[in-house]
Amino acid sequence: AQTVTQSQPEMSVQEAETVTLSCTYDTSENNYYLFWYKQPPSRQMILVIRQEAYKQQNATENRFSVNFQKAAKSFSLKISDSQLGDTAMYFCAFMGQDSNYQLIWGAGTKLIIKP
């Protein structure tokens, strides 16, 4: 069965710094999708970035980028020039055919951006 592991329960950085959140996963599939979701204090779940496993190029969305290492089954999120509004829980998630395209979630990382 697929699993997703986020090994950092909580992180904090100063505003404007760069921070990297870790995520590893386990699967026997070759084609799948990976996601990072953000949940701010409002608790709205917001999609930050997605990566298709068949694409070698790392996905980027403005200040957010991923380091996708397929062989290592690693999918880390880098936030550049962090802002106070980035304070949130961040969840890594996996989706593949074997799980019937249901999201498999990590436990989350609480990120605090300090002024």
Which residues of this chain interact with other proteins, rule CB under 8 A?
Answer: 32-33, 35, 42-47, 50, 52, 91, 93, 95-97, 100-103, 105-108, 110
Q: Is 44 or 57 the residue whose CB approaches other proteins more closely?
A: 44
Distance of closest approach, residue 19 Cβ to other proteins, in angstroms: 20
* Cα distance between residue 59 and residue 22, in whole Å: 15
Closer CB to other proteins, residue 64 or residue 105? 105
User: Please, which residue, 51 or 82, has the CB nearer to other proteins?
Assistant: 51
